[in-house]
Amino acid sequence: MNLQRAIEDLFSAQKEKWPQLRDAVERLAQVRERSFLWGDDFRVRLQFNPSRMISAAARLESEEISRRPCFLCAANRPTLQRGIPFLEKYVILCNPFPILHNHLTIPLHSHVPQRIGKKTGEMLALAEQLPDYVVFYNGPACGASAPDHYHLQAGLKMTELLQGDHELRSCMMIESESRSEAEELFEDVYSYLRQRQPDREEPMINLIAFISGDRYHLHLFPRKAHRPRQYNETGSRQLLISPGALDMAGVMITVREEDFNKLEQHDIEDIYSQVSLPVM
């Protein structure tokens, strides 16, 4: 059976047996959204998704992380959650806090830190089996809520998520007919970014992989900040926005209704300018 079909079946079975997932999928169907357009060139879809509060407000100091039980380790996952094995080292799980339709979390079995390293090939291999999906990676200081346990995510494609480079933020676009060539091109870009941020174990990045027209696509969003200044403001100046791959591509998540209502086009421009790293 092909993997996309197996995932559809997993969602059907999990919605039947696991009330938390069923409720989450129903809430996602009613989620409020606003669209922002910059001419015909690019757009941002703003989503009001209060169930993402846990992730947006996550405290990621290493002490906090080491104290909490890891929610991606098999022993601590919800008892009703089931999965599909992938490449004998990952498990494909339905995400009970979805942003996308058929939102998946794909952790490694082993509890190892969030580092992309040489794993873009595996990311592209997953994208290859899921042509209707985007597969994405959030660096440990770029939106990952479990920086201590390596994981990918995936969900059904939306046009906003496939947008490449534009004037509000950087996107380094890699495209090839060959998976290994796409991996090599990624290595080049990665070494360049390492030089730009030599003090970090991994340059700050978000990645989106997808297949289009039989070609492998990798969109790399280089970052210079984890969260915008407004995140740490107080009162009416605060905006609780903690950008990850989806936000960088064009689907921005707000977890508080006040932020969803008050956010303006210039706030989006400002947020991108603070967190995106200009290149070349």
Interaction site with Zn ion (CB under 5 A): 70, 72-73, 111, 149
Q: Which is nearer to Zn ion, 58 or 162 (CB)?
A: 58
Minimum Å distance from CB 147 to Zn ion? 11
CA 159, CA 43: separation in Å to the nearest integer?
Answer: 9
Which residue has 């991606």 as its token pair?
72
Q: Which is nearer to Zn ion, 45 or 151 (CB)?
A: 151
Asked if residues 219 and 124 have their Cβ atoms less than 8 Å apart, the reply is no
Minimum Å distance from CB 99 to Zn ion? 21
Q: Which amino acid is residue 160, in one-letter code?
A: E
CA 164, CA 223: separation in Å to the nearest integer?
Answer: 15
Minimum Å distance from CB 111 to Zn ion? 4
CA 85, CA 249: separation in Å to the nearest integer?
Answer: 28
Comparing every residue's Cβ against Zn ion, the nearest one is 70
Minimum Å distance from CB 272 to Zn ion? 31
From 114, 72, 111, select the one nearest 92 (Cα to Cα): 72
Given the DSSP bridges, would you call strands 90-94 and 104-107 parallel, antiparallel or unpaired?
antiparallel
E-assigned strand segments in 52-100: 83-86, 90-94
Minimum Å distance from CB 205 to Zn ion? 21
Enumerate the H helices of 177-244 as residue ranges.
Answer: 179-196
| Count of CA atoms in the C-beta half-sphere (13 A) of 265 | 7
Minimum Å distance from CB 141 to Zn ion? 18
Backbone angles phi, psi at 256, to 5 degrees: -115, 140
Backbone angles phi, psi at 190, to 5 degrees: -65, -45
Q: In Å, how far from its chain's centre is CA 239?
A: 19
Q: Which is nearer to Zn ion, 60 or 277 (CB)?
A: 60
Q: Which amino acid is residue 62, in one-letter code?
A: S
Q: Which is nearer to Zn ion, 149 or 219 (CB)?
A: 149
Q: Which is nearer to Zn ion, 80 or 112 (CB)?
A: 112
Minimum Å distance from CB 72 to Zn ion? 5
Q: Which is nearer to Zn ion, 58 or 73 (CB)?
A: 73
Q: Which is nearer to Zn ion, 143 or 250 (CB)?
A: 143
140: three-class secondary structure by DSSP: coil
Q: Which is nearer to Zn ion, 72 or 99 (CB)?
A: 72
Minimum Å distance from CB 76 to Zn ion? 7
Q: Would you state the structure tokens that stand for residue 129, as one six-digit string?
A: 């089996």
